[in-house]
């Protein structure tokens, strides 16, 4: 149950004064949630400094000023197009206040002639006269103190003005409860951090530009709270994982030896190390949950097969699940000759399998005569039953939900899980997203993989690129041509896939294929199969080819509007070529003018093909929130922490969480109880349920 102390923060925003259903909907879109707390997390992005208040004769035009003036004559507009003017003055000069579409009676009440008023807004010069158009504030001298000297500026959205947002955030902050302190006292003193509610109020009342920095004291405190909640939740999940009884899977190694003997190359050092780590985990008493990270073409499938063979050697079965049928068939094709060499029975199950063939496959699975099953989501189906599933390999885990992972492991008893990803993940994101898993990394390229020449060209040179493609095809090469959108939209000047397909078809005829995300599965598979078989020479595609498709004859990758893609995504796409013996090249076509980030991105791709370095650079250039696909990859969506800036805090939070659970695994002590409040505050409720007493 959520602690009662937090109830005011989780009340709907409509409970705040002035926030009706229409505003509430706009606020939810702006701040990312419907609750009062979501408004509290919406921090200022700028400031308006109203402290500048010289005599009128000394005002510098173009600045925001807060001026004390005497109100003079009101001059009503001669027509609707002309403004209403109020002439004001002080001892040194004069100022016109200008209003369009004015209500004269309201202005007479606000600015009575002969009275002193304080006005604040941007001062400009028009026809040699100082003027202020629609002042932000008009106040009597005795109310002037209530004008904020420095006003926070919040990110806005259509339909919400700064005044409305500021008022709602201010009302939300008034609901902040006094929560128990969950941070270590020595750390708070060392960092100079104030209590949580005070730090949050400080973050909303910046006095200088530097107070807006993620490195300011109050924002570092808030970022640490969020990172600590994240790391504590992960540590609790991991602790539960290790407490779950596993089974010892210890093979004799004879099947692994047969596969190693049949390989045309020796394993790389990092492949050997990964196999050793995985088999040691499988032989341990607890259940394995390990992540195998390997760059494109680093040889993950062979490592996965050797791990599955350890389960088969121990008398059990194994399964490998891939997110698409193309990928599942590719894994099957890679593993099949190796499984034959080991004398192991292998089967493939996809949604296409029907009737007698499917029934026979299911029977062989249930009686144990199939040792390893490769498949897609079809593995989840109710009638798929194993005799003894002990090991599950899940490829490109971010394409599957956690519940799907649990469904698959539920088909066996204490199933060990190996998750594979070809997307190198920066170290900081590893800790926040996959901290509940042990990790093995493949950092070397297997022998025989070709380096890829990467060239950046302006889109103005498109005719030269097409001529180059023609020459490559004449020599037997195949070409990927990547476009970022499916069809032309009015808002976009991008060369759409369908338009590019049409243009290339005029030149190359039926040798061009087209594949994009809106096509149905079987239709997409058929186009890919024709390309893999060499029946088409050019495959025009959106980013659906990013993961896993293996066509050794494809040696040219053309990416249009490369400046619009993320670094990691460009690296993934480039990895589709260089898989055979031929020399490969990747052409990044850009359209200027290029921003600094886009230029840096293209430069890094020219310099390196190390996916791990590229992932770190991507995080540095774009920040964690924007890293491609954070939503679908299950990476946490941080509201206050910025992993590109706060990585030192992440390391501290990780150590702190581990120490807390060593001393107080049930979070029963006074700090433990406060940390439970923290977990609920950052909506890590699920982790609290793992506590035996909570």
Which CATH number goes with the domain that contains 296? 3.40.50.300
394 with 539, same domain: the answer is no
Asked if the structure places residue 395 within a domain, the reply is yes
Please state which of the ranges 125-129, 146-150, 355-359, 391-395 shows the lowest mean pLDDT. Answer: 146-150
Domain count for the chain, please give it.
4
More confident site: 314 or 532: 314
pLDDT tier at 516, thresholds 50, 70, 90: confident
pLDDT single digits (tens) 611-635? 778 877 877 776 544 433 333 344 4
Asked if the structure places residue 690 within a domain, the reply is no
Closest to 579 in 3D by CA, of 556, 558, 611, 552: 552
434 with 460, same domain: the answer is no
Asked if the structure places residue 615 within a domain, the reply is no
Asked if the structure places residue 65 within a domain, the reply is yes
More confident site: 600 or 201: 201
Return the SS3 of 111.
coil
Asked if the structure places residue 241 within a domain, the reply is no
**372, 407, 442 — which closes off a domain?**
442
201 with 289, same domain: the answer is no
**579, 608, 637 — which closes off a domain?**
608
| pTM strictly above 0.75 | no
- Asked if residue 97 has pLDDT above 70, the reply is yes
516 with 411, same domain: the answer is no
- Asked if residue 254 has pLDDT above 50, the reply is yes
**Looking at residue 125, which CATH number applies to its domain?**
2.40.50.140
pLDDT single digits (tens) 441-482? 888 876 766 778 999 999 999 999 999 999 999 999 999 999
131 with 29, same domain: the answer is no
Produce one character per residue of 364-389: b if its CB has 16 or more CB atoms within 10 Å, e if not. Answer: bbeeeebbbbbbbbbbbeeebebeeb
474 with 547, same domain: the answer is yes
Token duo for residue 416: 């060990």
Nearest 5°: CA angle at 563, between 557 and 567?
Answer: 75
315 with 270, same domain: the answer is yes
Closest to 629 in 3D by CA, of 519, 563, 543, 515: 543
- The pLDDT assigned to 435 comes to 67
376 with 318, same domain: the answer is yes
Residue reference for tokens 């805090």 = 649
Please state which of the ranges 303-312, 364-373, 479-488, 623-632 shows the lowest mean pLDDT. Answer: 623-632
Q: What is the span of the domain harbouring residue 409?
A: 254-442
Please state which of the ranges 121-130, 250-259, 416-425, 642-651 shows the lowest mean pLDDT. Answer: 416-425
Asked if the structure places residue 236 within a domain, the reply is no
**Distance separating alpha carbons of residues 416 and 404, to the nearest angstrom:** 15
**442, 465, 497 — which closes off a domain?**
442
pLDDT tier at 265, thresholds 50, 70, 90: confident
Kindly state the percentage of the chain with pLDDT values over 90.
Answer: 59
Asked if the structure places residue 242 within a domain, the reply is no
Token duo for residue 117: 């008023």
Asked if the structure places residue 627 within a domain, the reply is no
467 with 552, same domain: the answer is yes
Alpha-helical runs (H) found in 116-182: 162-173
- The pLDDT assigned to 587 comes to 96
Residue reference for tokens 């993934």 = 572
348 with 425, same domain: the answer is yes
88 with 10, same domain: the answer is no
427 with 296, same domain: the answer is yes
- Asked if residue 491 has pLDDT above 50, the reply is no
More confident site: 615 or 114: 114
């Amino acid at each position: 149950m959520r602690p009662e102390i937090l109830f005011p923060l989780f009340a709907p925003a409509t409970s705040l004064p002035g926030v009706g259903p229409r505003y509430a909907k706009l606020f939810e879109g702006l701040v990312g949630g419907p609750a009062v707390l979501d408004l509290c997390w919406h921090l200022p992005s700028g400031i308006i400094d109203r402290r500048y208040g010289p005599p009128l004769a000394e005002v510098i035009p173009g600045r925001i000023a807060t001026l004390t003036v005497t109100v003079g004559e009101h001059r009503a507009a001669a027509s609707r197009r002309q403004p209403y003017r109020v002439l004001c003055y002080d001892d040194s000069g004069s100022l016109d206040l200008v209003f369009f579409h004015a209500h004269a009676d309201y202005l007479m009440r606000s600015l009575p002639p002969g009275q002193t008023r304080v006005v604040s807004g941007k001062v400009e010069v028009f026809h040699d006269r100082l003027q202020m158009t629609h002042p932000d504030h008009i106040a009597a001298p005795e109310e002037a103190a209530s004008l904020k000297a420095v006003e926070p500026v919040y990110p806005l959205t259509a339909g919400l003005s700064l005044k409305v947002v500021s008022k709602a955030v201010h009302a939300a902050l008034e609901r902040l409860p006094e929560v128990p302190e969950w941070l270590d006292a020595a750390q708070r003193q060392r960092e100079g951090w104030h209590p949580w509610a005070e730090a949050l109020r400080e973050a909303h009342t910046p006095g200088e530009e530097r107070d807006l920095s993620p490195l300011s004291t109050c924002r570092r405190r808030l970022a640490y709270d969020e990172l600590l909640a994240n790391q504590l939740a992960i540590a609790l999940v991991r602790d539960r994982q290790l407490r779950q009884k596993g089974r010892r899977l210890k093979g004799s190694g004879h099947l692994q030896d047969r596969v190693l003997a049949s390989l045309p190359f020796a394993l790389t050092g990092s492949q050997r190390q990964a196999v050793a780590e995985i088999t040691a985990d499988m032989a341990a008493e607890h259940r394995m949950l390990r992540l195998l990270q390997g760059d494109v073409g680093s040889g993950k499938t062979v490592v996965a097969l050797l791990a599955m063979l350890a389960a088969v050697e121990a008398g059990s079965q194994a399964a490998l699940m891939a997110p698409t049928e193309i990928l599942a068939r590719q894994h099957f094709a890679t593993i099949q000759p190796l499984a034959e060499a080991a004398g192991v029975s292998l089967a493939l199950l996809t949604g296409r399998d029907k009737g007698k063939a499917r029934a026979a496959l299911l029977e062989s699975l249930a009686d144990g005569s199939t040792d390893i099953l490769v498949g897609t989501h079809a593995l989840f189906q109710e009638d798929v039953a194993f005799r003894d599933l002990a090991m599950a390999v899940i490829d490109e885990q971010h394409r599957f939900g956690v519940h799907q992972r649990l469904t698959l492991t539920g088909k066996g008893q204490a199933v060990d899980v190996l998750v594979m990803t070809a997307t190198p993940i920066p170290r900081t994101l590893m800790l926040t997203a996959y901290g509940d898993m042990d990790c093995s990394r493949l950092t070397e390229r297997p022998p025989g993989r070709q380096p890829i020449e990467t060239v950046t060209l302006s889109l103005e040179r498109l005719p030269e690129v097409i001529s180059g493609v023609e020459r490559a095809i004449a020599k037997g090469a195949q070409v990927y041509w990547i476009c970022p959108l499916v069809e032309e939209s009015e808002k976009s000047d991008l060369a759409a896939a369908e338009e590019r397909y049409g243009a290339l078809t005029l030149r190359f005829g039926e040798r061009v294929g087209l594949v994009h995300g809106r096509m149905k599965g079987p239709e997409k598979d058929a186009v890919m199969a024709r390309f893999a078989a060499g029946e088409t020479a050019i495959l025009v595609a959106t980013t659906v080819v990013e993961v896993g498709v293996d066509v050794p004859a494809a040696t040219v990758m053309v990416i249009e509007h490369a400046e619009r893609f993320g670094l990691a995504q460009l690296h993934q796409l480039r990895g589709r070529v260089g898989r055979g013996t031929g020399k490969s090249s990747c052409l990044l076509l850009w359209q200027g003018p290029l921003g600094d980030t886009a230029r840096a991105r293209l430069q890094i791709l020219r310099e390196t093909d190390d996916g791990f370095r590229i992932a770190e650079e991507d995080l540095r250039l774009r920040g964690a929130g924007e890293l491609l696909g954070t939503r679908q990859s299950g990476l946490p969506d941080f509201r206050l922490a910025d992993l590109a800036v706060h990585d030192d805090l992440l390391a501290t939070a990780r150590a702190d969480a581990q120490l807390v659970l060593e001393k107080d695994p049930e979070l029963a002590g006074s700090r433990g109880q406060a940390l439970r409040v923290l977990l609920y505050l950052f909506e890590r409720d699920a982790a609290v349920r793992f506590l035996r007493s909570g």
